[in-house]
Structure 1
Amino acid sequence: MLLEELQSSLGKTYLSISYRPEGPWIHADWIGYPTGNSVLQGALAYLDQMQKQGCRAVLNDNRRLVGRWDASLEFLEQQWIPHALSTGLRYWAHLDNPGAFSVESADALRTRINGRFEVGIFEDQLQAEDWLRAGLRKG
């Protein structure tokens, strides 16, 4: 179920946020080239939707994203991680294309998260979903 779409100043959708009741989790589907502002707005928006829906997990889907988002790592460490913890995030599955540049950004973020919540990086959506389900069953 689509909850929210975020658009750039040019009217192009850069993030679709959906609720997946089978988890339950939030599916954050990123599109296009990430900017500092889009990463900031989008990352906070999907956490807020996660909290509103009573979820503890996010499938962060970067398969349609073009490029790295390293420029946002400082913000993510200083603001997003504390917000993620306060909203109850327990499981964050990152889905990306093999060899994509954004996988390196996700690895750098995982290092900064430093075990404060569970992080999985995947190339296959079914594996990512299975990992989320298994985590949510554990508690």
Structure 2
Amino acid sequence: MHHEFNNTFGEVYLFTVFDQPNNWIYNDWQGLLSPGSVLEGCMGVLDILQRTQCAYMLNDNRRVLGSWQQANEWIEQEWIPKALAAGLRYHAHVVAPGVFGQAAAEDMHLRVGNSFHMRLFEQLDDAQTWLREKQLADHQTALGE
């Protein structure tokens, strides 16, 4: 299950997929993101989340240019409650290079608060490792270990 979103120039700005082998939703955001593209992409991510009820998400912003902070209020008020209702519990976010992308991610992190566990990473490998650790801990808890 996946979605691909294109801007008005036909360029992909988001590829989102339920990565079944890793049991997480992977979002690959790219390029300059308008507020409208962020909202449209987030709704596509939410669709996959609602269908899978997956507790783990990996947001990869390494190829994002600029800031998407203008969408954070909508994400906080509209998207987060729906994502929580669909089962999201862990969100690993690989920040975009540059101060604007990092500032947007830090602002979102503050807005998330205690809603779900969110960590910011500079490296994809570190984000993947953190999600696997959370999955292992959840599995051990479920087994009563």
Q: TM-score, normalised by structure 1?
A: 0.91
Measured in 2, the distance between the counterparts of 1:69 and 1:97 equals 10
Contact 2:93–2:127 under 8 Å retained in 1? yes
Q: Is the 8 A contact 2:53 2:86 kept in 1?
A: no
Alpha-carbon shift at residue 100 of structure 1 (Å):
4.3
What is the CA deviation profile of residues 37-96 of structure 1, one whole-angstrom value per residue up to 9, with x for unaligned ones? Answer: 111111121122123234111111101110011111111111011111111111111112
Aligned to 1:15: 14
Q: Which has the larger radius of gyration?
A: 2
Q: Give the secondary structure class of the aligned counterpart of 1:28.
A: strand
| Equivalent residues in 2 for 1:34-113, closer than 5 Å | 34-113=33-112
Q: What fraction of aligned residue pairs are identical, expressed as a percent?
A: 37
Count of residue pairs the alignment pairs up: 138
Deviation (angstroms), 1:23 = 2.4
Does the 8 Å contact 2:62/2:97 carry over to 1?
no
Provide the aligned C-alpha RMSD in A: 1.5
TM-score, length basis structure 2: 0.88
Where does the alignment leave 5 or more consecutive residues of structure 1 unmatched? none
Rounded Cα–Cα distance in structure 1 between residues aligned with 2:114 and 2:65: 27
User: In structure 2, what is the equivalent of residue 136 of structure 1?
Assistant: 135
Instruction: Indicate the SS of the match to 2:83.
Output: helix
Partners of 1:95 and 1:124 within 8 A in 2:
yes
| Poorly superposed stretches of 4+, deviation over 6 Å | none
Shift, 1:99, TM fit:
3.8
